[in-house]
Amino acid sequence: MAKELVRAIDQGRILRLGTLVGLEDASAVFIWDEEDEDQKPTREGVSSPYVFTASWPRDESSEDYDANDLDRHVSLEVVVSRTSTERTKGLPQLFTKRWLTGLCFFAGCWRQKVIFPWPRELKSIVP
């Protein structure tokens, strides 16, 4: 992932810093292609999109360095719905917009449960 970030910088592409919800310090950096109209700057400034990152934390008790530690995550730009139903039990629902490339540094950070609704295109598939 670091090579992709270096390549993006060399190409003059846009990078965005990310923070965990409720925190101020940046803990991630993403390559950000301005593909969507809603991502363009406005009078109020640049919109603040949400990114969901699923990660597999390394074993902190291990003294060995695992070179894949930084590669064990996936980040998606998402739209967040906080509409609560009996089925969602108050958990935020996330709707995927696109895949993002970036680096995240979340060691020791808390995790939050979320729901990704089943995509409409897959609902008609019968096993």
> 16-39 pLDDT, tens per residue?
999 888 888 888 999 998 765 455
Q: Higher pLDDT residue, 58 or 10?
A: 10
In the chain, the percentage of residues whose pLDDT exceeds 90 is 30
Residue 52 has pLDDT above 80, yes or no: yes
Q: How far apart are CA 109 and CA 77, in angstroms?
A: 20
pLDDT band at 9 (very low <50, low <70, confident <90, very high): very high
Average pLDDT, the chain: 80
Residue 100 has pLDDT above 90, yes or no: yes
Residue 7 has pLDDT above 90, yes or no: yes
Q: Is-contact 17 87, C-beta < 8 A?
A: no
Q: Higher pLDDT residue, 76 or 37?
A: 76
pLDDT for 87: 72
